[in-house]
Amino acid sequence: MNRGAAPAALPLPPASGGLREGDPPGRRRWVTIEDPLPLESGARLPGVRLAYETSGRRAADGSNAVLVLHALTGDSHVAGPAGPGHPAAGWWDALVGPGRALDTDRWFVVAPNVLGGCQGSTGPASPGPDGMPWGSRFPYLTVRDQVAAEAALADALGIERWAAVIGGSMGGMRALEWAVSRPERTGSLFVLAAPAAASADQIAWGAVQIGAIRSDPGWRGGDYHGAPPGGGPHRGLGQARRIAHLTYRTEPELASRFGGAPQPGEEPEHGGRYQVESYLDHHAAKLVRRFDAGSYVALAEAMNGHDVGRGRGGVRRALRRARMPALVAGVDSDRLYPLYQQRELAELLPGADVLRVVNSPYGHDGFLIETGQVGALVRELLPPAPKPLPSTVLTKELP
């Protein structure tokens, strides 16, 4: 009888799966923020670099620029094929390009890697002032801090006002913060599958994932970046991914795909796995080879602290600042960010009307998967744009 062995062994994962100096840059470019970045906590973060990618041509006055913001484990590679520096095709590739919803014959699309991330932007794996990885010294970040860094990126690119700011999930939190904190720089707004403030349930899910990483002996208090392959907190990061993935999908989808079936060639009663376990293991193994555990913690903490009403008299009063045209959408099967949260946004944002609903069996991940429906909403939001004119060279851009 087959006693159900574990899956075939892979090479040990690196201490950090984030982008490292010397790795192929792919389509990334970089901007360095010259002055230390003031943080909401009162601290200042020196030496901030943001990686970003662009698609399309910038109009001379920057009026056709659109900011697209990624989710927790996304990055700047919103569009384009897989290749050196990019292990997968763009996460919204079906939406960005000539003739697509974000038509790059008309729009200049800018997609940054978030501050605190690990795909080229400053984060816990990045060198600190002493040249060593920030690690445990990396400061606590908020969504407002991340948007402040993105505003500095816009300044460096010579973009005074975005034609639109678009984001889903964590990217939707940042898009909303752009609209509330910088309404004069946000021409229009698209928030997808995100809330005005993190709920107790969402904070709890995030806290469990953070706890899984910090409980891994390989975490080493956050100072693991010099560890050999297999010596970092990859087990905790993988467990965090498994937990998160269950919140991203739905029970009916998992039931229809896997049911209670064992993985072929394995017997759960003799130590083997069920198919759904193999599915979660697959996603965990992929993440630990392309992401940094410290970045996961920093970004999850920022999401847990998301509240556009903090210090602004509450959500209702804060949202009154955002008077630009706005479109709010949610996924009908999303159990992580349920529709009532997007309905609240649609009701309170002065420039929004009725909530748009993306129909999907895939839960929260529907905002990434249902590109046909999402693309139709993007087309609804964006007005015609002038034909882009040639732009000058960006003086603050690094190779």
For residues 35 and 44, give the distance between their C-alpha atoms in angstroms, rounded to a whole number.
9
Give phi and psi for 262, each to the nearest 5: -75, 155
Catalytic residue among 76, 169, 333, 360: 169
Give yes or no: 334 in active site: yes
And the tokens for 216?
């891994």
Catalytic residue among 234, 245, 306, 364: 364
H-only helix segments in 157-274: 170-181, 200-214, 234-248, 251-257
Catalytic residue among 75, 334, 360, 365: 334
Give yes or no: 245 in active site: no
Pairing of strands 37-38, 44-45: antiparallel
Which residues on adjacent β-strands are paired with residue 109? Answer: 55, 66
For residues 205 and 301, give the distance between their C-alpha atoms in angstroms, rounded to a whole number.
11
| Residues in contact with 357: Cβ distance below 8 Å, sequence separation at least 6, in sequence order | 329, 330, 331, 332, 339
SS3 call for 358: strand
Strands, E assignment, the chain: 29-32, 37-38, 44-45, 49-55, 65-69, 108-112, 164-168, 189-192, 326-331, 356-358, 397-398
And the tokens for 75?
């990055």
Active-site residues, by number, are 169, 334, 364
